[in-house]
Amino acid sequence: MKVKRLHLQNYGRFEDLNIDFSPTAEKMGNVTVIVGNNGAGKSQILQALATGLSWFVNGLLYYTEESVSNTMKDRDTIVFPHEGEYIDQYRIKKNRDRVNLELLFSDMNNEVKGFNLNVTREDILKPAVYGTSDNGFNYLIKKYVKVFGGSRKSSLPLIANYTIDRNVEINSIEASYSFVLDQLSAYKDFSNAGSNYEEFFEWFRDNEDVENEISKDKIQSKELDSIENQLHKLKMEKEVIEGIINDVGTEKEVFLYRSLSKITAEIDYKQSEINQFLIRSDMLAASVINGFKSQLEHVRKAIERFTNFKNIRIRRLNKPKMTVEKDDEELDVNQLSQGEKSLLALVGDIARRLVILNPSLDNPLDGEGVVMIDEVDLHLHPKWQHDLIDKFVKTFPNVQFILTTHSPHVISDRNDILLYSLDDGELTEMPNVYGEDANTVLTKIFDVDIRDSKVEEQLNVIRRAISKHDYVTAENCITELAEKLPSDHLELLKCRLLLAQSKLANNHKDESSHAED
């Protein structure tokens, strides 16, 4: 499933906005990036997408409940139970009475379908009449309900919206037994996925508990064999004693009954031990069948691909905490920088949701879906920004990413990014800037001066003076500027070199003229 287009009318600051998302005929990648000044409306676009997609997710959650799916999976149509998110009244453009939100998306068979929310200000104030017209999500939900109702191993699309309110405070990592939850648990808090990463850390601990228990169970399997052998011997002894009692009679051999009672108690105890082993083994076997051990490995690999961290694990002594190895040193995650924690939690949460939703795939990170991330560069050092999209594409190759950013490093990452600039509600598709330096991107895309305007004007005065062979003015300006700038300032060094080259060339010209005379 991928979103093809969003159309907004009278929504937020947009009077009439159409935006296509990659992949398109021209851009075959899965990444769309929107840049723009603060307040331009970037977050509103992602929020509108999340609102529209909520009607798919909530409808899917409603109709795949076991009690409902059995009755719904054979129906030809599905009527929405008004389960999607509403458009808040403040989202309607000022002095307008109606708002329209329309999505075009491709389904699991790559067929294009539409979804439309067209409501008045009055409708929003009356939730009882708030709803949608017949739309493509009915059709798509119907397909997933039939497949999911037939097999809980079917793949489901990831839908997740990470707002700028991403919270990576890790207060505790308690066991929550999340490994027993089904695929639909991956949609929890999907519209504000980064507001609380506790789900990710708890899930990681639970699955590591299962992983550790599986390893422990391999060692204890020998103990189980020993108990079963002891039980077999006890049962044989019991049969012998029962045979003797039948032959000699009960009155003369009372001590045999005492022995029989003792052996029977031992048999019951051994059988109880075996039952406990079997219960745990059944749970672990189910975990292995459901891929929980491999799920955790996929999440670890995803995090390692984005970061320099190794050996990601939960330490359980005293207060449980997640630790990582960084530069051969073990650190509590809370000791990491905000950017490091943010990226670890973001990537880990995307990977977690994918592995839960795609238990049938050999590599569940190959699952499909739509992920929206507002200010994807949030808290990240430029060193981690420059190949961020490339890592998203390589780690989650079938996920459609719709991102906003203020970083020139992010948008020059790949040549297949669909790039838009948003200015005062107006959207403009921008040219490819793959491989461009940060200064060029800042100037061309972000319309930002690469240096202080006063310094730039003085540098321009120097360049013009040199071009006119006004070396006195150039030298004076260089001397004046050198008092303000670092001695290794690159542009000032270039001006000094340009001045020297111009003087040298001019001297050669004068010498040639004298020689001719």
Say how far apart CA 253 and CA 195 lie, in whole Å: 74
pLDDT of residue 144: 80
Residue ranges, the chain, pLDDT below 50: 66-69, 71-78, 80-82, 128-129, 218-219, 287-291
Q: 43: part of which helix (H) or strand (E)?
A: helix 42-63
Ranges of each domain in the chain: 198-363, 453-508
90-120 burial string, b = 16+ CB within 10 Å, else e?
ebbbeeeeebebbbbbbbeeeeebbbbbebe
Backbone φ/ψ region at 95: left (φ over 0), alpha (ψ -120 to 50), beta: left
Say how far apart CA 177 and CA 206 lie, in whole Å: 6
pLDDT of residue 129: 46
Dig out the tokens for 408 from the structure: 């020139």
Cβ atoms of residues 7 and 45 within 8 Å: no
pLDDT of residue 291: 47
Backbone φ/ψ region at 321: left (φ over 0), alpha (ψ -120 to 50), beta: beta
The distance from CA 142 to its chain's CA centroid, rounded to whole angstroms, is 26
459-511 pLDDT, tens digit per residue, is 889 999 999 899 999 999 999 888 888 888 888 898 889 989 988 888 776 65
Beta strands 310-315 and 112-120, pairing class:
unpaired
Q: Under DSSP, is residue 357 helix (H, G, I), strand (E, B) or coil? A: helix
Dig out the tokens for 63 from the structure: 């109709």
Residue type for position 430: M
pLDDT of residue 7: 94
In DSSP terms, 116 is beta-bridged to 102
Residues 6+ apart with CB under 8 A from 429: 418, 419, 420
Q: By C-alpha distance, which of 160, 107, 110, 109 is closest to 137? A: 107
